[in-house]
Each structure stands twice: as structure tokens, then as C-alpha cells.
Amino acid sequence: MSHASLPGHPFVHYADNGQLHVENCTVDALAAQYGTPLFVYSKGAMLAALAAYQKGFASRNAQICYAMKANSSLAVLQLFAKAGCGFDIVSGGELARVLAAGGDAAKVIFSGVGKTRTEMREALEAGVGCFNVESEAEIDVLNDVAVSMGRKAPISIRVNPNVDPKTHPYISTGLKGNKFGVAHERTLATYQRAAALPGLQVVGIDCHIGSQITEETPYLDAMDRMLDLVDSIEQAGIPIEHIDFGGGLGINYNGDTPPAADALWAKLLAKLDARGFGQRKLMIEPGRSLVGNAGLCVTEVLYLKPGEQKNFCIVDAAMNDLPRPAMYQAFHAIVPLQTAPAGADNTVYDVVGPVCESGDWIGRDRSLAVQAGERLAVLSAGAYCMSMSSNYNSRPKAAELLVDGGEARLIRQRDTMADQLRGELLL
């Protein structure tokens, strides 16, 4: 396996000495220095993932808004802001992070079904580029807030195109039964209503059909339905400056074969051109596909616990650090930090964390040659891991490193107990 990049993880490889590397850094050495659980991200992998989109949109009028919920650590935001990205945000907290990282508010789009008046006010004050409005009720509240501030809020309406993204039900968002967006049939009437309100300025239209999408067809279908709507909205005299196609492109977790961002967009742009929308301003909101396979989580094996039905490999990372298996039965590859010597005996384990729940598993039925005290890497941990982590069981949040070539920078200190106790009051 020497020098072989891991499939889907171009910046992770085993070097000739058998040691797992992220770019030019030895993962085991990083874990020895910074402790575990430890998230290690590759700057090169993030920028390469972004470059695929930038290549896809070269010479088009397009804005890439990184869906920061995937990984909202400040240094990651700073990296994407410097690379020219805007941001898709879903809360006042995310807005504050963008501003703290030096992001440009004018390139921010504010999505989400439950924006509060306070969040709307903060976003208007900061000057966000667009509110992606998700319901008819939200239109009235946003109009109220904007009028009370003497402002006009730029809006697009998030349409629920009712297409099946063919992904996990918890992360499908563009089907009729989902809470997101305005129903396709109600879209024109909703635009007419919004256009008549003094506090709103219609600037765009938007959809997002789901996440970890690995096929092209749902995107092509959603685009057709969106363009039909743009036609009818503009015929009603309401100009649409930009079309936002959301995010959702999947990554390779377990042999998944999503299209490359530039290949997918070549097809989508061909459709836009064929339908006469090639010059329109485009927006996209990718999250996972920019960061997911740029990160791994290093964990130490605490105990091996053989059993009659199952063998358990108990590690020091848990569902509070890596919530995706518990929440979505998600698969993350788990690999050793050092290639196993020839003839090593593998055992099949459930890899589990210390949290007191049977749902606290990281991987099931994994064949590993591992001893207590050794370390493992959980792959594809750049997206929806740290950003969804918690202090459950009063466990500290892990530390994070960003690797750039042979240099690793600490971008988040491990939680201290003082961090965890801050803000709590005894009776």
C-alpha cells in the first residue's frame, strides 16, 4: 500500500515506511503530540475540492457559497473566505462565525426554516446578500422586520421541487413530505405576494434537494423544474437575478461513486445553456463535498473486549465526536495508522466509543489487526462531525489540526473542563 492514496482521499496516503500521512505529516506523530480524539484536515484537499467547482464554473457568473454547517471551524471558514467563497448560513451563530473569520457578508445567503426576528435583524444589519425564504409566514415576518429598520431585504424563495434525491431519509429535503421550502405549486403565488411587499426585494430563486447525492438525475430533474418556475415567475413580471441550486453532492464514504463537481456541472450548465439561462447568475451551496474527505479523526484503542456474539474494539472517540453512525447508520472507513505486517491476524470488531449508549458505535463488523494503545483513523470525518459534536457524557470536544504540506497548525484547542463548566451556575 506504500504511497497509495486511499480511494476518494487524495491527500491521505501510506508512505513507504507504512505510516499513514495527511499530506506530508505523519498522522501517528500528530496524535502523539496533540492527543486523541484528534481531527486532522488537509488544506490541499479542501482547496482541491473547491477547485473542481471553480473549474466547473470557469467563465460563468457564479458564486460558490460554502454551506458552513458541514464544518464551521473558524480557520476552515477563513480558508474558504480567502479563496473567494461566500457562505450559506442557517443561524445568527453561523453569521457571527463568518464575520469573525473575515468573510464578506454580501456573499452570505441565509437559509433555514426557522429564522428568528433577532437573526433577521442581525443579518440585515450585517448586509447579507440574500435571505432564502422557506415559507409564506416567513415572508411576512421578514417584511415586518425590514420595514421596521427602513430596509429592503433581498430574498429568494426556496422551492421544494418534489424530486427524490435517493439518499438517506433524514437528509432528503426536496420531497413533498419535508419541512423545507415552498411547495412547487405555491411558488408563483408566493413570489407575487413577496413582490408586492415594501420591505422585500426579490433577487433570486433557490432549491436544495438533499445531501450525499451520488446520482446526476435528481439534479437534472430539479433544474428542469426550477427553470419552468423561473419562466412563469418572469412572465408574471418579476425578474429573477440569480438561480441557486443548493448543495448536496455526495462523497465517497464506502465505494460511493458521486460525479465529480466539474463533470456534474458541465451537464447542468449544458442544460442551462440549452434552455437559454446560460448567462444567469448562478449560486450553489456545497458543504460536504468541499470538506468531507479532507478530514479524518484519529482515535486510540482503549480496550479490546472479545465476546461470544461480537468482539468490541473500544476507542476514545465516541458518538459525541462522530455522531453520523449513531444518527444515520452512516459508514466511515476505519484504517490503521501503520500498514499491518504481512501475516497479521485480523479480527472482526464493532468499533465503539465510551459513551453509555448502545447507539455509540463508529463502525460495525470491521476487520482489524489492532492492539490496545494503538491508534486508528476514522476517514471522511471533515464534514458533519466536529460541527455536530457535543459534550455528551461531559466529554471534551476534540482538538483540530489543519495540515498544509509538512506543517500542521492547531486550529481548535481541545476543550478544557473550564470550557465545559463556563456559564453554568450552582444554586
Residues that bind ligand LLP (CB under 6 A): 67, 70, 88, 111, 171, 208, 211-212, 246-249, 285-289, 324, 328, 384
Burial group, residue 402, by CB count within 10 angstroms (0-12, 13-18, 19+): buried
Question: Cell triple for residue 146?
Answer: 425590514
CA distances from 397 to 320, 334, 384 (A): 8, 20, 14
CB of 348 to ligand LLP, least distance (A): 26
Q: Hey, is 399 helix, strand or coil?
A: strand
Nearer to ligand LLP, 88 or 400 (CB): 88
Cα–Cα dist 161/183, whole Å: 7
Residue with cell 438533499: 210
Contacts of residue 184, Cβ cutoff 8 Å, sequence gap at least 6: 159, 160, 161, 162, 225, 229
Give the nearest distance from C-beta 289 to ligand LLP in angstroms: 6
Q: How far is the CB of 69 from ligand LLP (least distance, A)?
A: 6
| Other Cβ atoms within 10 Å of 92 Cβ, number | 18
267 beta partners: none
Residue 19 C-beta: closest distance to ligand LLP, Å: 29
Question: Which lies closer to ligand LLP via its Cβ, residue 329 or residue 347?
Answer: 329
Distance of CA 267 to the CA centre of its chain: 23
The least distance separating ligand LLP from the CB of residue 408, rounded to whole angstroms, comes to: 25
Give whichever of 211 and 252 is closer to ligand LLP, judged by the CB atom. Answer: 211
Q: Which of 65, 130, 313, 356 is catalytic?
A: 356
Nearer to ligand LLP, 43 or 288 (CB): 288
How many Å apart are CA 152 and CA 155, to the nearest integer? 9
Task: Give Dmax over CA atoms of the chain in angstroms.
Answer: 74
Q: How far is the CB of 280 from ligand LLP (least distance, A)?
A: 19
Task: For the chain, give the number of residues.
Answer: 427
For residue 107, CA distances in Å to 86, 138, 191, 197 come to 4, 21, 22, 24
Query: How far from the centroid of its chain's Cα atoms is residue 417's Cα?
Result: 28
Answer yes or no: 65 catalytic: no
CB atoms within 10 A of CB 309: 5
Query: In angstroms, rounded to a whole number, what is the distance separating the alpha carbons of residues 377 and 25?
Result: 14
**63 is written with which cell numbers?**
458564486
Half-sphere exposure of 84 (CA within 13 A, CB side): 8
* Nearer to ligand LLP (CB atom), residue 218 or residue 336: 218
Reading the block at residue 23, the C-alpha cell is: 499530506
Say if residue 284 is exposed, middle or buried (CB neighbours under 10 Å; 0-12, 13-18, 19+): buried
Decide whether 37 or 247 has the Cβ nearer to ligand LLP: 247
Q: How far apart are CA 93 and CA 106, in angstroms?
A: 17
Shortest distance, CB of residue 67 to ligand LLP, whole angstroms? 3
Whichever of 35 and 259 has its CB closer to ligand LLP, that residue is 259
Whether the upstream peptide bond of residue 258 has omega within 30° of 0, thus cis, is no
Question: Of the two residues 26 and 289, which places its CB atom closer to ligand LLP in the complex?
Answer: 289
Nearest Cα residue to 154 out of 96, 207, 122, 109: 109
Min dist CB 169 to ligand LLP, Å, is 11
Tell me the catalytic residues.
356
